[in-house]
Amino acid sequence: MRLVLTALALTFAVPVVAHAASYDCNRAKAADEKAVCAYLPLNDKDVRMSVLYDVNKRTMGMGSRGALMDSQQQWLRDRRKCGANRACLTRAYDRRLDELERSMERIYHAGPF
């Protein structure tokens, strides 16, 4: 019975671990990507970052959208430098999440929703 429960738990856990929000973990090649996929707190930060980035991108004007996309590409290059270092990755995500949250303030102030 314990073996069956373990098998069921693994079956349901695999899809959660297989995909981070911004990329397919099955295709992760770089050390930073693999580290995000392997560590749930980083994966959760990646999901949050991806959602905030997408909302920001969809609600900005074209000039601002281009700047946001450029800053995201730079952030990804900077994240890559962390390699598999979880502390470095956590700091990188925390900084990016803070930037994206601050950018969301314009949406919050434009309410009500």
Q: Of 69, 9, 55, 14, which is closest to residue 37 (Cα–Cα)? A: 14
Is the CB of residue 20 less than 8 Å from the CB of residue 47?
Answer: yes
pLDDT at 11 (0 to 100): 38
**Residue 98 identity (one-letter amino acid):** D
Q: What is the pLDDT of residues 47-76, one digit of tens each?
A: 999 999 999 999 888 888 999 999 999 999
Please give the model's pTM, rounded to 2 decimal places: 0.77
Q: What is the SS3 assignment for 23?
A: strand
pLDDT of 95 > 70? The answer is: yes
Q: Half-sphere exposure (CA, 13 Å, Cβ side) for 108? A: 7
Q: What is the pLDDT of residues 1-47, one digit of tens each?
A: 443 333 333 333 444 444 556 789 999 999 999 999 999 999 999 99
